[in-house]
């Protein structure tokens, strides 16, 4: 029974992630994309530290090893996650909340292609068929509609694809950082790794905004209620993802995680009065189908 805990953990993580993205997007008009990105890390840090503290307390035999391998992987993941979050928020604002979330699913096929070119990873024919289906769906999603005017829909799609690529890199980097930190206690290692990375991300982004964009930084703290909610949702989402990955291989977790897309479509309609056209709906379903096929490698 405990082995199946990863399924509700993944679904819960997807829901918290959609809520966090919605709260961050709502902050963007006042904070800008970088201020809204900071919210995820700065206001999520107290919760991540609490989760890591509980995990360490429950796992007294854990021995964290802060080696050079850990720091290299963790800092790579930290940088690419910051870029991915900012790009996703811009994509959601320009292309729509649901479309931006669907474009984020490009992290899986893009990771597969990078894995083949850089690491010589091998996938099954079914998985590569999924990559092709996902790519076709993304191409339809990114193609501007006849009603679209100006560069925003196209640039929103570009930012969505950039977000997917950066999230794919950060996912692999964080997995390696967790293995380097404490390979024998994956849950404790994952939560501790998240806390360390978020502390670095929060400190660096706060320092950058304090010197280059104090208005955005003031707006972040002025909207502390919404910021705190986004931070809590982000910390819960991270905890759920890493708990699921500690209990199950990544492929089925990633497949169940596509439940995020219909959640985002519902949130986009109810919170932002967005409606998906037939073309976007069909393309989005194709993307989700391709993602599931790719995870079955």
Residue carrying the six token digits 């290299």: 72
Q: What is the pLDDT of residue 36?
A: 84
Q: What is the pLDDT of residue 4?
A: 62
| pLDDT reading at 9 higher than 60 | yes
Q: What is the pLDDT of residue 148?
A: 44
Question: Which segment, 70-74, 146-150, 249-253, 271-275, is predicted with the most confidence on average?
Answer: 70-74
Element (H, E) at 16: helix 6-42
pLDDT mean over 152-181: 74
Q: Are 148 and 140 in contact (CB under 8 A)?
A: no
- Residue 147's CB is within 10 A of a number of other CB atoms, namely 7
Q: Are 161 and 103 in contact (CB under 8 A)?
A: yes
CA distance 241 to 12: 9
Q: What is the pLDDT of residue 75?
A: 93
pLDDT mean over 77-92: 82
Average pLDDT across the chain, whole number: 75
Element (H, E) at 155: helix 152-181
Among left, alpha and beta (phi > 0; psi -120 to 50; other), residue 146 is alpha
| pLDDT reading at 119 higher than 60 | no
Q: Whole-model pTM?
A: 0.71
Q: What is the pLDDT of residues 231-274, one digit of tens each?
A: 898 888 888 877 776 666 555 566 666 666 666 666 555 555 55
E-strand ranges in the chain read: none
Q: What is the pLDDT of residue 189?
A: 86
CA distance 150 to 91: 15
Tally of domains in the chain: 1
Q: Which pLDDT band holds residue 230 (cuts at 50, 70, 90)?
A: confident
Q: What is the pLDDT of residue 90?
A: 78
Using the CB atoms, write b or e for 118-137: b if 16+ within 10 Å.
eeeeebeeebbebbebbbeb
Q: Which pLDDT band holds residue 202 (cuts at 50, 70, 90)?
A: very high
Q: Which pLDDT band holds residue 290 (cuts at 50, 70, 90)?
A: low
| pLDDT reading at 71 higher than 90 | yes
CA distance 58 to 20: 28
| Joined tokens for residue 35 | 């201020």
Cβ-defined contacts of 110-116 (< 8 Å, 24+): 110/161, 110/164, 110/165, 110/168, 111/168, 111/169, 111/171, 111/172, 112/294, 114/165, 114/168, 114/169
Q: What is the pLDDT of residue 121?
A: 55
Q: Are 288 and 282 in contact (CB under 8 A)?
A: no
* Higher per-residue pLDDT: 184 or 66: 66
CA distance 115 to 119: 5
Domain region containing 282: 2-295
Q: Are 291 and 105 in contact (CB under 8 A)?
A: yes
CA-based Rg of the chain, rounded to a whole angstrom? Answer: 18
Q: How far apart are the first and last CA of the chain?
A: 25
Q: Which residues contact 257 (CB under 8 A, 6 or more apart)?
A: 10, 13, 14, 241
Ranges 57-71, 104-118, 220-234, 274-288: which has the least confidence: 104-118
pLDDT mean over 145-150: 47
């Amino acid at each position: 029974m405990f082995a199946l805990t990863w399924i509700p953990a993944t679904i819960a993580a997807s829901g918290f992630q959609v809520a966090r993205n919605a709260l961050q997007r709502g902050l963007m008009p006042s904070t800008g994309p970088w201020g809204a990105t900071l919210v995820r890390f700065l206001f999520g840090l107290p919760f991540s530290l609490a989760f890591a503290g509980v995990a360490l307390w429950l796992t007294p035999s854990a021995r964290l090893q802060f080696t050079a391998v850990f720091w290299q992987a963790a800092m790579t993941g930290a940088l690419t996650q910051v870029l991915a979050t900012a790009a996703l928020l811009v994509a959601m604002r320009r292309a729509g909340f649901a479309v931006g979330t669907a474009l984020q699913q490009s992290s899986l096929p893009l990771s597969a292609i990078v894995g083949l070119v850089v690491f010589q990873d091998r996938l099954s024919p079914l998985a590569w068929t999924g990559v092709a289906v996902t790519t076709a769906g993304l191409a339809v999603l990114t193609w501007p509609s006849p009603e679209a005017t100006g560069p925003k829909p196209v640039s929103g799609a570009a930012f969505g694809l950039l977000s997917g690529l950066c999230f794919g890199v950060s996912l692999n980097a964080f997995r390696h950082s967790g293995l380097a930190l404490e390979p024998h206690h994956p849950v404790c290692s994952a939560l501790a790794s998240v806390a360390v990375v978020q502390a670095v991300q929060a400190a660096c982004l706060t320092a950058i905004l304090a010197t280059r964009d104090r208005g955005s930084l003031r707006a972040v703290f002025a909207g502390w209620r919404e910021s705190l909610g986004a931070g809590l949702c982000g910390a819960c989402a991270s905890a759920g993802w890493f708990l699921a990955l500690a209990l199950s291989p990544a492929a089925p977790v990633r497949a169940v995680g596509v439940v995020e897309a219909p959640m985002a479509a519902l949130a986009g309609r109810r919170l932002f009065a967005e409606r998906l056209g037939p073309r976007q709906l069909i393309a989005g379903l194709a993307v989700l189908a391709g993602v599931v096929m790719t995870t079955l490698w």
